[in-house]
Chains A and B, each alone.
Chain A
Amino acid sequence: MKKTFCAKMIPYLFIAPTVILLAVFSYYAIGNAVFTSFTDKSSNFIGIRNYVDAFHDEMFLTSFKNQVVITVAAVFFSVFFPLLASELLFFIKHKKISGFIRTAFVIPMLVPSIVVILIWKYLYNPNFGFNTILQKIGANGWIHNWLNDEKTALFAIVLIGFPFVSGMYFLIFHSGLNMIGEELYEAAIVDGATNWNVVKDIHLPNVKPYTKIVVTLSLINSLSGFGLVAATTNGGPGFATMIPALQMYKVAFGDGNFGYASALGVVLFLVIILLTMVSRKLLKDGE
């Protein structure tokens, strides 16, 4: 009996460090935030007023709309391009070349995102970068003040990071494709399958669990991060490219209004959970 009990306890021992750390650093924080979200600037309890305000806050609603655009694009790009890159790499059988290409896809990941963002900011500069190229090819009509024009700013932000072959997602798909057992291919080769058949019939179904992870991670990253927007437009012009996470940051650390910021945060948190659950459900059936 005793041994069984020990055996039962093993999984919990395995996850104990994780749970302890998270309890201290994360669950406490979120509990704290939920509590704070019911208070005002001077820590008086004010019920759900912050939440009511949030849903009447024009900027917060714009933020959410922008976020939808950014997230949909981010999730799509995060799956499509890294998967494309790893598929293409898969069919390159020359060991040295494929090794080189893999390294070449991974290395740019070491350039910190803030630097990449600053480079893109320069590319979008009204006077140089893309506009120089457009001018040279005579497409003057296309020249824009990309990040400072309400009409183009959000679009410009979405495209930052092209071609989106993020090192991590690339590695996930890459190892995913390589995890597929040889026997499937052998059968396919016997059937005289083309490369396209291999992709369609073997890779895509089998890579689904990895897609699910990439979708989850990119969804969460895009919803909770605000560095990209903060460093490019800071939500502007006006609040045309504001997103909830950045707005929350401004409310919290700009005004010290942690009650309202926490309310925005809790709403954001719940939305992320909901979206993640939905996306994971949608991707479930293939497993």
Chain B
Amino acid sequence: MRKRNRSLALLLVGAMTVSAMLAGCGNKSETPDAGAPKETADTAEQTGTPAQDSDAAWDTTKEDTIVLSVINNYYTAGQKKLAEEYMELHPETKVVVDVVSDNDAYMTKMQTAFSADQNDAPDIVHGNFVVNALTASSWNVAFEKGYLTDLAPMLDEVNPYNDGKLVRDVFDPNDLAIALNKTGGSKMGILPFDKIGVAFFYNKDIFEKEGVAVPQTFEDLIAACETFKDKGYQNPIAAGLESSWFLNSIADSGYRTIEDQFLTKPGDAVWDEATMKANEGFKWDPSNLKCDKDIVNNDERVAMYRKENSVNTELNKTIWDTFSKVAKFFPENWVGVDSSQMITDFEMGNSPMLLQGSFNAGKILDDINQLPADKQFQWSTFQFPSFKDAPQGLENTLRGLFVLGNEMAIVQKDSEDHMARVKDFYKFWYSPKQAQTTYEETLASGNFIQGPSVIAGVTLSAELQEKLDGFVPEGTARDWDGLTGFTRVTQADMPKFYDLVNSLSRGKIDAGEFLEQLKPYYDKYSDEGIASAGFDLDPTTLDAAK
């Protein structure tokens, strides 16, 4: 009984830390929160045997540690808070938040951890980094090799931290489709947490001073850049690696018209009626920019397209050629420069425009407020402007980007008891209340939100919500990097790829030559991908990863 009292007390503490905003959704969600797992805790204490009922699938008498390994990001403070709260509910499980400072170090850590006994690797990791480092970006190979866990079955389990509702209940089916699609189409490597948008930031004062109107079309954008260039602005658009999102949007205006050939079809080995219904008979409808929001790609069909057409297609030539008209106004070596330099260019008034993600909006706002009065300026954002007169092969409307941000996956381990704990923590984190805590804690520790939450029930202040709304595009572009070839080469070849992009951006080579030179690296990467996935390039048969 001692335990129950403690749990209740802790629950109170936990509840108090949640901000006033949450007060509305109070009682209902709190009771089951501690109820289900705590009861089992008591049972286990009395009987002294491992609890076997569905709510606590782990032995509550035994201590265990789960490790959440994250790259330092906006949510780190919130994650630490969650870990504390979780440990108060479940003292038998120690939750460690292991923070790594940068991407390279994280990659190294993952390689090293998976090179030894996987059972000792961290439990919850950035899935995208694991697949980048270990399986040439293929999620399916990561599942087959047993690195990562398929989270799809978890969707239909009860989330004890959300009023006994199912895990899937807090998600928009559209977001689940995106997650499914992102992680290979047949299994789900991550659950959605938040979304990131991208836009052009622009310096209103400079636009006014130079008499330039906010671009309404792609053609306007080019004209504006040219005006700025003439007026002495070296780099009209401050842009870093993230600017490839604009390339992706251009690509989307072409590839979406043929996207039906990449979909999983009935009769394919990975076909799943439940999640892929939207695929059936799908055809791109130019009048409905959202018509493809629920469709799911098939890795093997994409691989087939890549193998058959390689990268030097007419469509890619158009896409890259169009992109290079904008990239011409990017800074030197934009593809290799970190975003802090770009942001500085914008903040110092050297570049009238900046191509950036929603996750840096808060920082930019804060920075500009800290500048001396004579250096401050007014700024706003605009979405990717559509073509007035699109090049042959592309549609006029450019869809913006609005992608899943935090891609947390679960590492596969042998011990069922351990897995149950990890999954329980994951559910805890992805419940409305705790997701809210993550956001609140992030703001409270002086950080910014990287994008709106996709978990139903999370609410943000009106002011913040409004700012983030500026990033929500009308219809979302799908991810075409795999087909345009953007960064789709091995890490070893990446510098060569950067070199080619720089040459293209500086007009040293044209799009045709660019793709011709990219081809060997792209093909090598495609072939490696096909080999490691074990694809026989016949989607109707099930293949085994090598």
The residues of A with any CB-CB pair to B shorter than 8 Å are: 41-42, 58-59, 125-128, 145, 148-149, 230, 233-240, 242, 247, 250-257, 260
> Top 7 A-B pairs ranked by shortest CB distance?
A238-B499, A254-B491, A239-B495, A148-B333, A236-B336, A237-B333, A251-B492
Interfacial residues of chain B within 496-546, with CB under 8 A of chain A in the complex = 496, 498-500, 502-503, 528, 532, 546
CB–CB A238/B492 < 8 A: no
A128 CB contacts on chain B under 8 angstroms: 348
Query: Smallest CB–CB gap between A240 and chain B, Å?
Result: 8
CB–CB A237/B491 < 8 A: no
Measured in the bound complex, the distance between the Cα atoms of B145 and A42 in whole Å is: 12
Chain B interface residue count, Cβ-Cβ cutoff 8 angstroms: 32
Task: List 29 contacting pairs A-B, 8 Å CB cutoff, sorted by A.
Answer: A41-B528, A59-B496, A126-B341, A126-B345, A127-B345, A127-B350, A145-B333, A148-B336, A233-B336, A234-B336, A236-B498, A237-B332, A237-B333, A238-B336, A238-B495, A238-B502, A239-B495, A242-B495, A247-B492, A247-B495, A250-B492, A252-B111, A253-B107, A254-B107, A254-B492, A255-B136, A256-B111, A256-B134, A260-B492
Measured in the bound complex, the distance between the Cα atoms of B532 and A257 in whole Å is: 13
Q: Which residue of B lies closest to A240 (CB)?
A: B499
Residue of B345, B495, B500 touching A236 (CB-CB under 8 A): B495
A253 CB contacts on chain B under 8 angstroms: 104, 107-108, 111, 133
> Is the C-beta of B99 less than 8 angstroms from some C-beta in chain A?
no
Query: Smallest CB–CB gap between B361 and chain A, Å?
Result: 22
Q: Which residue of B lies closest to A63 (CB)?
A: B495
CB–CB A238/B496 < 8 A: yes
Measured in the bound complex, the distance between the Cα atoms of B489 and A207 in whole Å is: 51
Given known contacts A252-B111, A256-B133, A148 and B337 CB-to-CB distance under 8 angstroms: yes
Measured in the bound complex, the distance between the Cα atoms of B491 and A238 in whole Å is: 13
Measured in the bound complex, the distance between the Cα atoms of B525 and A255 in whole Å is: 11
Interfacial residues of chain B within 125-156, with CB under 8 A of chain A in the complex = 132-134, 136
B111 CB contacts on chain A under 8 angstroms: 252-253, 256
Residue of A41, A148, A251 touching B331 (CB-CB under 8 A): A148
Measured in the bound complex, the distance between the Cα atoms of B344 and A256 in whole Å is: 34
> Is the C-beta of B494 less than 8 angstroms from some C-beta in chain A?
yes
> Is the C-beta of B396 less than 8 angstroms from some C-beta in chain A?
no
Measured in the bound complex, the distance between the Cα atoms of B528 and A234 in whole Å is: 25
Residue of A42, A126, A234, A255 touching B546 (CB-CB under 8 A): A42
Measured in the bound complex, the distance between the Cα atoms of B348 and A128 in whole Å is: 10
Measured in the bound complex, the distance between the Cα atoms of B214 and A157 in whole Å is: 40
CB–CB A250/B494 < 8 A: yes
Query: Smallest CB–CB gap between A144 and chain B, Å?
Result: 10
Measured in the bound complex, the distance between the Cα atoms of B102 and A253 in whole Å is: 14
CB–CB A145/B332 < 8 A: yes
> Is the C-beta of B459 less than 8 angstroms from some C-beta in chain A?
no
Residue of B136, B491, B499 touching A250 (CB-CB under 8 A): B491
> Is the C-beta of B217 less than 8 angstroms from some C-beta in chain A?
no
Interfacial residues of chain B within 155-190, with CB under 8 A of chain A in the complex = none
